């Protein structure tokens, strides 16, 4: 079954969060609370929900056309917010869900249960018992007929709470059916502590899902996995790994400790150690690390090796190319089978603009080569160690761009004697 629509009350200041950001836009497992809620209720309602927003409409800017909006000019009270949401509701006995906008762990199963109870009894709500005092509390999820919702809201003062709105329904002769759930199953985000609690619970659920999909986590408690992350079968995550955004990890990878991957795609069979990557794409069979920084726009083809202390930014690296260590590759197009020697720098910035470097297939860049962009090194070319390349290198050529060595016999002894005087 489906409710006609829903009202999400999200205009409160959330003063205990000590934040200018609306509570509904705080993230849990990398996803804003409001997105968690909209995702779970999507299949439970016929019409887009009504979100009661603040005057700045930050939530509306984020959610866009997925919802309709009412604005509460001042955070007078929950009843006032509810009354404003009611203005966009249909008439009649169609069911409407009412939710507080701070419930990231709301579950479709609970929504269906409260709707079924409301269909039978005209109104229903989810409650839990305090583990210490056994006192009953509302979870912030309600369902009732639209006409009943409006009538009860009209009986409330603007500063009244949702509890008093429920009492108003009782005065109209309808007692909300109370369904009990476990206290820890669906906590509301009221402050930073409960935000952290929701983060832990969400991460535990995400970890369990990956277990069931054939992923190994050596220390699940130390791993953080975003809600939208995809991981292939037989991949192993070592302790202290962070996977965020829309990161995708292929099958049979080993992601070792210290890796932080955000919105990054990793192919099958890769081994990463202390890799920080943001908006990067890695092919299959890549070995990278330790201490590698892959910045946005980086695309690494299959079979590459990236060694320690290498940074790559906005560059394409061809199949089987080696970037062994201590190098910076920025704004470059590198072919296949290239060897980038230790300490090479792709000099891409002239103080005013960025320029690209092109390196062909099977090129050998000697240690501490500086490639001053814009410049092209042709297929099969070599650069001598210590060279600063400022002009194009033809295919198959050897480029020397360094001062000629000059040995002065006996100069050391002469130098020392001068120092003694």
Active site residues: 325
Q: Angle at which helices 78-86 and 146-154 pack, to 10 degrees?
A: 130
CA distance 286 to 217: 20
CA distance 314 to 300: 10
* 289-298 LR contacts (CB < 8 Å, sep 24+): 289/256, 289/259, 290/258, 294/264
- How does strand 136-145 pair with strand 95-100? antiparallel
Residues 255 and 239 sit within 8 Å (Cβ to Cβ): no
CA angle 397, 398, 400 (to 5 degrees): 135
CA distance 406 to 421: 26
Q: Return the SS3 of 96.
A: strand
**What's the maximum distance between 2 C-alpha atoms anywhere in the chain?**
110
Q: What are phi and psi of 184, to 5 degrees?
A: -90, 0
Q: Kindly state the DSSP code that residue 288 receives in the 8-state scheme.
A: E
CA distances, 330 to each of 284, 299, 311, 368, 370 (Å): 22, 12, 8, 15, 12
- Give the list of residues 6+ apart from residue 24 with CB closer than 8 angstroms, or none: 8, 10, 32, 33, 34, 37, 59, 101, 102
CA distance 365 to 393: 11
Residues 249 and 229 sit within 8 Å (Cβ to Cβ): yes
Specify the DSSP element, H or E, that contains 192: helix 192-212
Q: How many helices (H) and strands (E) does the chain have?
A: 8, 39
- State both tokens at 409: 């016999």
Residues 399 and 389 sit within 8 Å (Cβ to Cβ): yes
From 351, 407, 357, 401, select the one nearest 377 (Cα to Cα).
Answer: 357
């Amino acid at each position: 079954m489906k409710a006609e629509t829903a009202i999400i009350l999200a205009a409160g200041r959330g003063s205990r969060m000590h934040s200018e950001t609306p509570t509904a836009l705080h993230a849990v497992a990398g996803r804003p609370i409001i997105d968690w809620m909209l995702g779970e209720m999507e299949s439970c309602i016929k019409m887009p929900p009504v979100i009661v927003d603040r005057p700045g409409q930050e939530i509306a800017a984020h959610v866009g056309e997925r919802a309709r909006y009412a604005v509460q000019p001042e955070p007078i009270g929950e009843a006032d917010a509810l009354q404003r949401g009611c203005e966009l509701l249909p008439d009649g006995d169609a069911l409407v869900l009412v939710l507080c906008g701070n419930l990231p762990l709301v579950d479709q199963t609970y929504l269906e249960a409260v709707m079924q109870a409301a269909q039978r009894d005209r109104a229903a709500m989810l409650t839990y018992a305090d583990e210490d005092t056994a006192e009953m509390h509302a979870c912030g999820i309600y369902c009732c007929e639209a006409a009943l919702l409006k009538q009860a809201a009209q009986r409330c003062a603007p500063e009244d709470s949702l509890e008093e709105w429920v009492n108003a329904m009782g005065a109209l002769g309808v007692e909300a059916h109370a369904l009990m759930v476990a206290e820890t199953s669906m906590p509301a985000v009221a402050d930073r502590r409960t935000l952290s609690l929701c983060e832990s619970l969400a991460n535990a659920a995400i970890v369990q899902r990956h277990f069931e999909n054939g992923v190994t986590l050596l220390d699940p408690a130390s791993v953080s996995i975003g809600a939208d992350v995809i991981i292939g079968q037989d991949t192993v995550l070592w302790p202290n790994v962070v996977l965020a955004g829309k990161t995708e990890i292929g099958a049979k990878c080993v992601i070792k400790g210290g890796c932080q991957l955000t919105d990054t795609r990793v192919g099958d069979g890769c081994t990463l150690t202390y890799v920080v990557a943001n908006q990067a794409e890695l092919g299959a069979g890549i070995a990278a690390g330790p201490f590698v920084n892959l910045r946005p726009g980086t695309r690494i083809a299959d079979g590459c090796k990236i060694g320690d202390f290498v940074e790559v930014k906005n560059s394409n690296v061809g199949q089987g190319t080696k970037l062994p260590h201590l190098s910076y590759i920025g704004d470059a197009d590198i072919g296949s089978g290239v060897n980038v020697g230790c300490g090479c720098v792709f000099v891409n910035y002239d103080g005013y603009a960025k320029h690209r470097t092109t390196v062909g297939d099977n090129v050998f860049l000697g240690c501490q080569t500086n490639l001053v962009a814009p410049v092209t090194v042709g297929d099969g070319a070599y650069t001598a160690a210590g060279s600063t390349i400022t002009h194009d290198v033809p295919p198959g050529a050897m480029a020397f761009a360094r001062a000629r060595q000059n040995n002065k016999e006996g100069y050391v002894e002469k130098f020392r004697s001068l120092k003694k005087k």
